[in-house]
Amino acid sequence: MHVIGRDADTGGPVCNLGTYRARDGSTGAPVGLDVNHPHAAVVVGKRGSGKSHTLGVVAEGLARAEGVAPIVVDPMGVFSGLEAAPIDGTVHHDPTVRASSLPPSAWPDLLGLDPTGPVGSLIWRVAAEADSLAEMQSEVADADSTAATRRAATNHLALADSWDVFGQDGIAVSDLCGPTPDILGLSGMDERPASAVVRVVARGVYEARIESTVDHLPWLLVDEAHAFVGGVAEPALRTILTRGRAPGVGLVLATQRPSALPDVAVSQADLRIVHRLTAGPDVSAMAAADPTYLDSNLASRLPRKLGCALVIDDTTESVHDVRVRERDTPDGGATPVAVPEHGAPPASAPTHDASETME
Ligand SMILES: Nc1ncnc2c1ncn2[C@@H]1O[C@H](COP(=O)(O)OP(=O)(O)OP(=O)(O)O)[C@@H](O)[C@H]1O
């Protein structure tokens, strides 16, 4: 099997990705993805092009690999199929984190406050001193600030409290770094508390590797990644993108809006898995990182079929046309239909856009 992401003379665990796709559409040899080294990858494509499916395939491959710890950020609730045998993952529904795990500087941003304004700086200060949200609230009540500042800070912390995301027993990084996939089920959460969870987990796994407190190499697989950039989670994701290789943290960001990702995401990714893309700005965002070894322009090489992808591999400076394999576990991304075809199972039957049939 050819393995994308590493030189031919190196070994180690491989994720079974699918098969090569010849220009005439015929199926070629099996192709795998290196999971022995921590990669930074982006998976992009228009809505329904197969990104979540591909992320699930990578999660299954990581689950079977030795020495890695897959963690899936699931904002849409489509990865619970990974709990099925033989993968046996664990879904953590609406996970909580400790308030003190979020850096004090992140609190104003989380609450939509100017960190240099009176309310934002009060929240920053109490976050630096307190160990829990309750302590932050009581420190605000006793703060030497104007009544209006205290009142505004109290209201913002009440909002944070209403998210039910900050608890004394937040999810422990050590619980997420086992060999089977851990799925952070965030579909019941708003964007801001979900971003707080991603920030804490991303920072936690990075620091755990720096401090050598976990043995496995964590891989963070983030679906709908555009929801987590430009917000409170971004600094931690950026750190893994730019500095994750040395401590051994892998990152896979999947998004239908590559133009919404920071430039660093596309430029730092050593693997780019590109499904069908049609929107001009998104094609341009990927084309901006066109490597010199791509012999034609990216737009002309983009796949048109569901489940097919162009894989750009910076490690070996090569480009591959791949058809991603079927999932081994149930695929929760299947599109529901209003009127199932006669004899088909109701509502959850996978359907594809007529223009995006499988080959
Ligand atoms: N390689 C594949 N083999 C078989 N089925 C696939 C493949 N890729 C995608 N599908 C099916 O196509 C449908 C859409 O895939 P998926 O949900 O992964 O798309 P998506 O790009 O993540 O969509 P969205 O942007 O809406 O999240 C699903 O029913 C999925 O099971």
Per-residue pLDDT of the chain (359 residues; tens, 9 = 90+): 899 999 888 889 999 999 998 777 677 899 999 999 999 999 999 999 999 999 999 999 999 999 999 999 999 999 999 999 999 999 999 999 999 999 999 999 999 999 999 999 999 999 999 999 999 999 999 999 999 999 999 999 999 999 999 998 889 888 899 889 999 999 999 999 999 999 999 999 999 999 999 999 999 999 999 999 888 999 999 999 999 999 999 999 999 988 888 888 888 899 999 999 887 777 777 776 666 666 667 777 888 889 899 999 999 999 999 999 999 999 876 666 676 665 555 444 443 443 444 54
Give the CATH superfamily of 38-95+171-270. P-loop containing nucleotide triphosphate hydrolases (3.40.50.300)
What SS3 string covers the chain?
CEEECCCCCCCCCEEEEEEEECCCCCEEEEEEEECCCCCEEEEECCCCCCHHHHHHHHHHHHHHCCCEEEEEEECCCCCHHHHCCCCCCEEEECCCECHHHCCCCHHHHHCCCCCCCHHHHHHHHHHHHCCCHHHHHHHHHCCCCCHHHHHHHHHHHHHHHHCCCECCCCCCHHHHCCCCCEEEECCCCCHHHHHHHHHHHHHHHHHHHHCCCCCCEEEEEECCHHHCCCCCCHHHHHHHHHHCCCCCCEEEEEECCHHHCCHHHHHHCCEEEECCCCCHHHHHHHHCCCCCCCCCCHHHHCCCCCCEEEEEECCCCEEEEEEECCCCCCCCCCCCCCCCCCCCCCCCCCCCCHHHCCC
Here the ipTM equals 0.97
Q: Is 49 in the pocket of ligand 1 (CB under 6 A)?
A: yes
77 lines ligand 1 (CB under 6 A): no
Instruction: Please identify, by atom number, the ligand 1 atom nearest to the C-alpha of residue 53.
Output: 18
50 lines ligand 1 (CB under 6 A): yes
How far is the centre of ligand 1, averaged over its atoms, from the C-alpha of 307 (Å)?
7
Quote the ligand 1 centre to 359 CA distance (angstroms). Answer: 14
* Domain layout of the chain by residue ranges: 1-37, 38-95+171-270, 99-162
